[in-house]
Amino acid sequence: MTFSPELEAKFAKLLEIYPAGRTRSAIVPMLLYAQDEVEHISAELIEEVARRCQVQPLQVDEVVGYYSMLHRKPLGKCHVQVCTNISCLILGGDELYEHASKALGIGHKEVTADGQFSLEEVECMGACSWAPAVQLNYDFHHHVTPEKLDQLLAEVRKAH
């Protein structure tokens, strides 16, 4: 597979930083950084990462099944993650998730028909004191209300 020069540079560094003979350690970072670029983890990507880390493809495959941020199917261009864990829950996180689901017309781990959005009800993201919280891809948004979420989604739609 061919990747951008930036990702290739990241891969090269990942193969250097772990102790000698321990390139298996690079599997998870490689998968996550690659997923950002190629959108999902395909069988081809698993083979590629296995080859570069000098492990069996199965050793990469079993890791994909474990980590909740690694996805075998493409997400939307904007992945909407709504936290409903305790601190968010008691300040309206549940209602916020329902609102997002209605506004996007999709459920948990689903993607809109145009591929622009995907939705996920997520576990604690570390924004408890500024709840309820939402992440759009890697960006944090704090004190999110249904109105604020509508606004954020409108901004994403406009940008595309």
Partner 1 sequence: MLYNEPSPLEVKILTKRFGLANSESLDTYLATDGYKAFRKAVEMTPEQIIEEVKTSALRGRGGAGFPTGMKWSFVPRTSPKPKYVIINADESEPGTCKDRLLMENDPHQLIEGILIGGRAVDSHKGYIYIRGEYRYLIEAMDRAIAESYSRGYLGKNIQGTGFDFDLYTHTGAGAYECGEETALLDSIEGKRGIPRMKPPFPAVVGAWQSPTLLSNVETFSAIPAIIRDGGAAFAALGPPKNGGTRLVCLSGHINKPGVYELPVGFNLRRMIYEVGGGMRNGKKLKAVVPGGSSCPILKADECDIAMDFDSLTKAKSMLGSGGTVVLDEETCMVKFAQRIMKFYAHESCGWCIPCREGTTWLKKMLDRFHSGGGQKSDIPLIGELSKNMLGRTFCALGDAAAMPTISIVEKFPEDFEAHLNGKPCPYQHSAEMAMA
Nearer to partner 1, 102 or 114 (CB): 102
Nearer to partner 1, 147 or 159 (CB): 147
H or E element, residue 17: helix 5-17
Separation CA 112–CA 79 (nearest Å): 10
Separation CA 69–CA 31 (nearest Å): 10
Nearer to partner 1, 61 or 110 (CB): 61
Separation CA 46–CA 64 (nearest Å): 9
136 binds partner 1 (CB under 8 A): no
How many residues sit close enough to partner 1 to count as binding (CB under 8 A)?
A: 47
Return the range that interacts with partner 1 (CB under 8 A); candidates 1-9, 57-65, 72-80, 100-108: 57-65
- Measured from the Cβ of residue 145, the count of other Cβ atoms closer than 10 Å reads 14
Return the range that interacts with partner 1 (CB under 8 A); candidates 72-80, 100-108, 111-119, 128-136: 128-136
Separation CA 63–CA 70 (nearest Å): 9
25 binds partner 1 (CB under 8 A): yes
CA–CA distances in Å: residue 123 to residues 13, 61, 68, 106: 31, 23, 10, 19
38 binds partner 1 (CB under 8 A): no
42 binds partner 1 (CB under 8 A): no
Under DSSP, the state recorded for 41 is: -
Closest approach, Cβ 3 to partner 1, in A, equals 17
| Footprint of partner 1 (CB under 8 A) | 17-19, 22, 24-29, 31-33, 53, 55, 59, 62-63, 65-70, 84-87, 89-92, 95, 123-131, 135, 138-140, 142
